[in-house]
Structure 1
Amino acid sequence: MAAAFAGYSYLATPKAVSVSADGAAYSDGKLVMANPKLDGFTKDNRPYNMTAARAIQDFQNEGIVELEGINAKLPVNNDNWASVTAPSGTYDRDKNTLDINGVMTITTSDGMVAKFKSAYLDIGTGGMKTDDAVDIQLKGTEVTSDSLTVLENGKVMIFENRVRMNIDPRRLKTAQNTSGDQDVVQ
C-alpha cells in the first residue's frame, strides 16, 4: 500500500520526460491545453505516464496548472503498477505539489484499491496528506480512517481519527493460497 504513494516521488527526479498536447487555445487570459500528456522514465529507468482531459494555466501565475480528468500510470516496483484517477487537481510547479480536490482512486496491479475524498501530494518529498475519509482495501483487509498522512516516500503512514481495520479471514486465506504464501490466518 505504501509503495503506491512512493510512485509520486519518482516524478521529482525523472530521467527523461516527453510532454505533448492535442491542441492549445487562449480563453479568458488563460492557456487551455487539450489532452496534455506527460511520458517519462523514473531515475531507475521505469516508464510512467500522466494524462489529463484539460490543463489550464493562468498567465498571471504561470507556476499553477489546473488539471481536469487526471489519469496516471506509475511504477511501484518491478512487478507492480499503480493507476491513479482523479476528476481534478492543482499542480504547483514552484512548490512541486499536487492538490487533488475530488475523489482520487489508486489501483495497483497487485489488487490494492485506495480511495480518498481529497489529497495533497508533495511530489518533492514523497509525502501525502488528507483530512478527509480514507478507504484502502487489499486481499481481504480494509483500513478506513478520517485522515491520513504519508511521510518518507510511503515508509511512514499515520492513520488518524476513527481508524478501523476489518479482516475477512476467508478472503485473506484465499488470497494467500493464490499467491503461494505459507502463513495462513485461521
Structure 2
Amino acid sequence: MASVQTAAYHTSMEARFAAAARHSRLVRTLRVAVPLVVALSLAAILAISIFNPFRLLSKLPIDIGDLVVSGTKITMESPHLAGFTNDGRPYEMWARSATQDLTSQDHVDLHTLRAKVVSDDQSTVLIQARDGKFNTKAQLLNLQKDVYLRTSTGSEAWMTQADIDMGKGNVSSDEPVDVKWLGGTLRGQRLRITEKGDVIRFEGGVVMNLDNANLPEPAEETDTRAQPAPAAVPNADAAAKSKSSQPGQRREVNRP
C-alpha cells in the first residue's frame, strides 16, 4: 500500500516539475521575444517615417498633407500629383485622401478625386469620381462611382465605371454611359475612346437624340455655273428695212 502511494506521489511531483520547467522556458522565451517584437515594431515605424513609400509614386512634384500609418497601409490626406504623360501632355490629380499598401507600392487607392488632362488639341478634360485606383507605374487610372467627364469644348459624360490610360489617352467603360454635347445627347451600354480621343465608339443599344437648334447652320451655296445669255430682241426698224430690201418684191401704188 505504501509503495502505491509513493509511486503516485512521485508521478505527481514529476508532473509539477515538468509544468514548472515549461513555464520557465516560456518566461525565458518571452523575455527575448517581447523586446524583439517591440524593437522590430519601432524599427518598422522608423523605416516608414524615413523611407516614405509615397515618395516612390513618381519622380514628379507631389504635395501631401498628413500621413496616417495603420498596419501595412499609409493614408495621405489631400494629395496633389502633377506630371506628364508618355507623350508629353501635362496632367494633374487631386484627392481627398489616398491610401497605399506597403506590399503593393505601385497601386494607390484614391477617394473623392479630380483629374485634369490636356489633349493634343490643347483642350482640357476634367475628370471626377468618388473612388479610384491609380497604377503609378503603368499610368492606369480606374474610376468607380459617380464618374463625370467634362471637356473645355462643351461636352459632358456620366458613367459608373471607367478605365483611363493616362499614357495613351484611351478611355474604356463596360457600364452604361450618357454623353451630352452641343448637338444633342447619346446613350450607350459601352464606351471605347482610342487614338488619343480621335476615335469614339459606343456599343450596345445606342440611342442618339439630335438638337437641331444647337447645330451649326450650313453655309448657303451659290450657283456659280454660267447662265446662258438671253436671246437678243430684234430691232423693229432693222427688221422693216431688211424686209423692204428683199429682191423681187414689187411695190404697188394705187393711183386715184
TM-score (norm 2): 0.57
Structure 1 partner of 2:119: 76
| Structure 1 residues 18 and 100: CA distance shift in structure 2, 3 A | same
Counterparts of 1:83-122 in structure 2 under 5 Å? 83-122=126-165
What is the letter of the counterpart of residue 169 of structure 1?
A: N
| Structure 1 residues 79 and 166: CA distance shift in structure 2, 3 A | same
Partners of 2:168 and 2:114 in 1: how far apart? Answer: 21
> Given the alignment, which residue of 167, 172, 189 partners 1:124?
167
Provide the secondary structure at the position in 2 that maps to 1:94. Answer: coil
Provide the secondary structure at the position in 1 that maps to 2:145. Answer: coil
> Given the alignment, which residue of 106, 110, 126 partners 1:63?
106
Partners of 1:163 and 1:77 in 2: how far apart? Answer: 27
Provide the secondary structure at the position in 1 that maps to 2:208. Answer: strand
* Larger relative helix fraction: 2
Partners of 1:58 and 1:36 in 2: how far apart? Answer: 16
Question: CA shift at 1:46, angstroms?
Answer: 6.7
> Given the alignment, which residue of 169, 173, 189 partners 1:146?
189
Structure 2 partner of 1:30: 73
Provide the secondary structure at the position in 1 that maps to 2:196. Answer: helix
Question: CA shift at 1:123, angstroms?
Answer: 2.4
| Deviations, residues 85-118 of structure 1 (Å, cap 9, x unaligned) | 1111111223331111212111122211111110
* Larger relative strand fraction: 1
| Structure 1 residues 17 and 84: CA distance shift in structure 2, 3 A | same
| Structure 1 residues 78 and 183: CA distance shift in structure 2, 3 A | same
Task: Answer yes or no: is 1:169 the counterpart of 2:204.
Answer: no
Partners of 1:102 and 1:69 in 2: how far apart? Answer: 10
Task: Answer yes or no: is 1:54 the counterpart of 2:97.
Answer: yes
What is the letter of the counterpart of residue 212 of structure 2?
A: P
Provide the secondary structure at the position in 2 that maps to 1:17. Answer: coil
| Deviations, residues 118-169 of structure 1 (Å, cap 9, x unaligned) | 0112223322211101111111311110001122212222211001111011
Partners of 1:117 and 1:46 in 2: how far apart? Answer: 26
Structure 2 partner of 1:135: 178
Provide the secondary structure at the position in 2 that maps to 1:135. Answer: strand
Q: Which runs of 5+ in 1 are unaligned?
A: 1-15, 177-181
| Structure 1 residues 153 and 54: CA distance shift in structure 2, 3 A | same
> Given the alignment, which residue of 152, 170, 183 partners 2:218?
183
Q: Higher relative CO (CA 8 A, sep ≥ 6), structure 1 or 2?
A: 1
Larger radius of gyration: 2
